Amino acid sequence: MTRRWFLATGASVLAMLKKGRMALSAAGAPAVKPGGAMPFGKTVCRLYMICMRTEAYWEATHSGVPRVPFDGRPIEEYVDIIADIGTEVWFLDSNMNGVLYPSKVLPQNKDVPADELARVLKRGKERGMIMGALAQLTEPEGHQLVPELKAWEMYPIDDGRGLKPDGICMSIYSPFVDWTKRAMADMVQVGGYEGFWFDGCAMAERNPWPWAAGDVGPYGQAAYQRETGRDVPPKVDFHSQGFRDWVNWRYEKMLDFFNEVTESTCKVMPGQATVVNYYARGQLAWEVAHPLRRLDVKWFPSFEGESSLLCKVGWALTPNTEIWFWAERSIPELANGESPYVSSDESIARGLRVAAHGLAIDLAGPETDILIWKDSMKATFAALKQWRPYMGGDTVKYAAVLVSQQSRDFAVDTDMFVAEEKSIAASAEPRKSRARVTDVLWRSWQGFVEINNAGHLMTDVIFDDSLSAKGLAPYPIVIIANAACLSDAQCQVLRGYVKNGGALIATQQASMFDEWGIKRQNFALADLLGVDYVGVEDEPQQILIPHSEELKEKFGYLVAFMASATARVKVRPEARVDVLYTKSSRGCAGGIAVKVDEFDTGAPAIVRNKVGRGTVYYIAADVGTGYTNHWQRQLADLICHLERAVAPPAFEIHAPKLLEARGGLASGCSWVSFLGS
């Protein structure tokens, strides 16, 4: 039986649903003993901010401008302001052409007074904050001051650009690993830091774009030969199984490296927090990206950017993921990452979306004078602390969107992805020069998340390793949006899921390739989808015609949106599918007279197939990207209608359509949050 709840809300409201009754909660933060910090994993107000540098970065000119350390205030006064705004963790300066303390391992910057850092850390700890270091992991700052690092540099694989080692990125198969462990131990034992926020966490050179992947140098070659008995691949070649094996091997070594340096430092300081900038977002492909899978680790992934999709990806990795973003929208012409004044409204709204997904935020503090932004940051942190009791727990299960590492990495040569990538690159979007094949998938995944947000349908992200009977069992609906790369075993799991009553939504080229990106003659899931693959259409205009009076009454005479690279399919001869929508012969809705014109090609656009006790929808177009292109409500309503028709949600949320709903289970009760979009 579907429960129906209605809540009139403002921009953000927290409601608890307990024992069938609704109540508002205004829980406060757990008590912290004076002079002591709570465990890092319980913190929700984290600040990423330098204070000791004599330059501020000006992004518009890629240069520095003069800055007075601590904004010209006494150190203790400055630290007290940071504490008074509600900061629980502060990641701050650690290396400015040398570390800021008398190190036993690392070169010291003698131009900085020797007591400055000690005073900052001492005062911060007295005020109950965890004090961590901002540092670069595989691109250590001050590398030119450590002569031995030159011998441990990473060598990029040949990608056709003739790139050489840049002397900045280090090999994680070299003695650099032991050096890193010594450096981290020194920073906590001698420097006094209580944790790390690591940027520069890739095995790839930053410049030029796209980053050049490694390591195929002497250390990388020796490690690969030792563990696999094979040579590293000579060049990037997605048609070579040896190259594809190496790509996956690199992922394992990255995680091993993160684990090793964290565990080593925890032996020196149990409970220290290591945060790793985790590259799991659009524009970042295999060269620099990190694995998409459930993590059981002692370090904390951090995502650079905030969105509903990224929050869900972070939760799927581990509930210990944090979301990092600038406290204010970036205006690079004015400052690095923020405008001079920080508006608390936007930071609160974005922070509450993160908190509603059970994650912590890490706000990048402005480089402007602290007096300009301290009040708005205090308001932001105060709002976030109310959510602490609802961190952790579990999500309300309804729809699962597959975010696939296999397809991200190995679907690069498909005609459909290449056609759609060209469309993205030709658009007027910011940073279009950085458009990648991976963006095609990320936009499609984001679109389905946002479609379900529009319909107030609860949605989780799952990864390839969740394609098992146990992993899919909690979800009434599974969405495989253009999941081109699926193994035979994964396809068999999906068959069992549907036959046992699950609902599956598949789009475009789902299952046309195996897990390595090798093309099949037809959909591996053709028996489920009820259609056979024919080819690809490049035309982005999607005008779909309904084939039932019910759909026509609910959604009108046609559904129109823009999405490049549509699959051409035909109904299988033996299939008994319902063709819900077909493709129009017209590319322009203008001029169509629905009662006069014949504009139906009969080509299947959306079909429904009953298999066992379950249902499968196949959609030929990229409706996810189609929705995010123009945010047409009609398209979202249609997809949500199809979902509800086969899997009525456990409870319905009646609220303004522009609010995003997020449900969870924590502290023995259920709760639903509403967040302004």
* Residue 20 falls inside a structural domain: no
CATH number at residue 461: 3.40.50.880
Whether 385 and 406 share a structural domain: no
pLDDT band at 428 (very low <50, low <70, confident <90, very high): very low
Query: What is the structure's pLDDT at 427?
Result: 54
- Per cent of the chain over pLDDT 90 is 64
Whether 418 and 341 share a structural domain: no
Q: How far is residue 42's CA from residue 314's CA, in Å, rounded to a whole number?
A: 16
Q: How far is residue 233's CA from residue 590's CA, in Å, rounded to a whole number?
A: 53
Write down which residue in 337, 361, 391 finishes a domain: 391
Whether 353 and 404 share a structural domain: no
When mean pLDDT is compared across 122-126, 134-138, 429-433, 609-613, the lowest value belongs to 429-433
pLDDT band at 126 (very low <50, low <70, confident <90, very high): very high
Q: How far is residue 568's CA from residue 624's CA, in Å, rounded to a whole number?
A: 17
Q: Beta strands 55-58 and 89-92: pairing type?
A: unpaired
Q: Can you tell me whether residue 440 is helix, strand or coil?
A: helix
In tens, the pLDDT along 551-582 reads 999 999 999 999 888 899 999 998 889 999 99
Q: How far is residue 37's CA from residue 128's CA, in Å, rounded to a whole number?
A: 5
Whether 277 and 403 share a structural domain: no
Whether 350 and 429 share a structural domain: no
Q: Can you tell me whether residue 272 is helix, strand or coil?
A: coil
Q: Could you report how far apart the first and last alpha carbons of the chain are, in Å?
A: 29
Query: What is the structure's pLDDT at 340?
Result: 64
* Residue 420 falls inside a structural domain: yes
Whether 427 and 351 share a structural domain: no
Q: Is 0.85 topped by the overall pTM?
A: yes
Q: How far is residue 281's CA from residue 638's CA, in Å, rounded to a whole number?
A: 27
Helices (H) and strands (E) in the chain, counts: 17, 30
Write down which residue in 342, 366, 391 finishes a domain: 391
* Residue 22 falls inside a structural domain: no
* Residue 637 falls inside a structural domain: yes
Query: What is the structure's pLDDT at 418?
Result: 64
* Residue 671 falls inside a structural domain: no
Whether 148 and 297 share a structural domain: yes
Q: How far is CA 408 from its chain centroid?
A: 13
Question: 580 — phi, psi (to 5°)?
Answer: -85, -40
Please answer whether residues 94 and 191 qualify as being in contact, where contact means their C-beta atoms are separated by less than 8 angstroms: yes
Whether 361 and 318 share a structural domain: yes
Q: How far is residue 309's CA from residue 452's CA, in Å, rounded to a whole number?
A: 11
Number of domains in the chain: 2
In tens, the pLDDT along 140-188 reads 988 788 888 999 999 999 999 999 999 999 999 999 999 999 999 999 9
When mean pLDDT is compared across 121-125, 208-212, 225-229, 463-467, the lowest value belongs to 208-212
* Residue 512 falls inside a structural domain: yes
Q: CA triplet 523, 527, 528: central angle to 5 degrees? A: 95
Residue type, 251: Y
Helix axes 344-356, 370-385, angle to 10 degrees: 30
Look up the domain containing 191 and give its range.
45-391
- Cis before 291 (ω within 30): no
CATH number at residue 380: 3.20.20.80
Whether 442 and 334 share a structural domain: no
| Nearest by Cα to 466 from 662, 317, 630, 575 | 317
Whether 307 and 370 share a structural domain: yes
* Residue 661 falls inside a structural domain: no
Please answer whether residues 102 and 16 qualify as being in contact, where contact means their C-beta atoms are separated by less than 8 angstroms: no
Whether 387 and 404 share a structural domain: no
Question: 19 — phi, psi (to 5°)?
Answer: 55, 40
* Residue 327 falls inside a structural domain: yes
Other C-beta atoms within 10 Å of 264: how many?
16
Whether 133 and 279 share a structural domain: yes
